[in-house]
């Protein structure tokens, strides 16, 4: 059975959401970050950087949220959470997953860190503004992409929607989607899915 190492309000909600969508058995292993359980030697053997999430599949550990959900979606191809290998939709699926992780997350993370999460004496206002501007520019592109679309790729829900909705939920919590009604509506549709509600519960 797969083991997902999990803490609420972290990127671990992404693979948990996919696992819930798939309806396959897995063990949820809570990791108390306030007690620094993610920095203990037994967890560092699974994720050497001590971050979340991590997954063990038949005893084989892996980390990085997008890599985990891609692996799990491919493990159950009959469930349809990833487009067919070699198809144009598969190419777009890879494109948007990489867009999420390499293009969208870094400026959002910078804005988050320098506007609220770093200790005040470590915050650099210019970094926060730079991250906010970059994320806003990206959101304009995404608003056009999702206009008139229910899902990010093709005509059905995929694991790429999990990552995209997760990032947009994070951005919404920081007030960055106020000018993007299409993105808000897309995010709300995905988060209303029963599997999403189960994954986001504490």
Strands (E), the chain: 2-6, 26-30, 54-57, 60-63
Please state which CATH class domain 88-193 belongs to: mainly alpha
3-state secondary structure labels for all residues of 119-142: CHHHCCHHHHHHHHHHHHHHHHHH
Q: How far is CA 172 from CA 63, 73, 140, 168, 175, in A?
A: 26, 26, 15, 6, 5
The pTM for the full model equals 0.95
> Rounded to the nearest 5°, which phi and psi values hold at 29?
-110, 105
132-176 tens-digit pLDDT: 999 999 999 999 999 999 999 999 999 999 999 999 999 999 999
Q: For domain 2-80, which architecture applies?
A: 3-Layer(aba) Sandwich (3.40)
Quote the pLDDT of residue 73: 97
153 in Cβ contact with 92 (< 8 Å):
yes
- Report, as ranges of residue numbers, the positions in the chain whose pLDDT lies below 70: 202
The domain limits of the chain are: 2-80, 88-193
164-181 tens-digit pLDDT: 999 999 999 999 999 999
Work out the mean pLDDT of the chain and round it to a whole number: 96
Q: Identify the DSSP state of 84.
A: P
Strands (E), 20-136: 26-30, 54-57, 60-63
């Amino acid at each position: 059975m797969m083991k997902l190492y999990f803490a609420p309000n972290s990127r671990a909600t992404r693979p948990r959401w996919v696992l819930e969508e798939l309806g396959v058995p897995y063990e949820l292993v809570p990791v108390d970050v306030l007690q620094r359980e993610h920095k203990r030697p037994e967890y560092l053997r699974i994720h050497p950087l001590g971050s979340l999430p991590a997954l063990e599949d038949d005893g084989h550990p892996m980390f990085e949220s997008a890599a985990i959900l891609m692996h799990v979606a491919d493990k159950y191809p009959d469930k349809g959470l990833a487009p067919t290998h070699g198809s144009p939709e598969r190419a777009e699926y890879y494109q948007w997953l990489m867009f999420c992780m390499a293009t969208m997350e870094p400026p959002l993370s910078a804005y988050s860190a320098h506007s609220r999460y770093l200790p005040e004496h470590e915050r650099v206002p210019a970094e926060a503004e730079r991250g906010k501007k970059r994320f806003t520019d990206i959101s304009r592109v995404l608003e056009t992409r999702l206009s008139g679309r229910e899902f990010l790729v093709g005509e059905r829900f995929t694991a790429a929607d999990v990552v995209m909705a997760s990032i947009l939920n994070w951005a919404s919590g920081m007030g960055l989607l106020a000018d993007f009604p299409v993105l808000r509506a897309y995010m709300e549709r995905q988060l209303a899915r029963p599997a999403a509600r189960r994954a986001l519960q504490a």
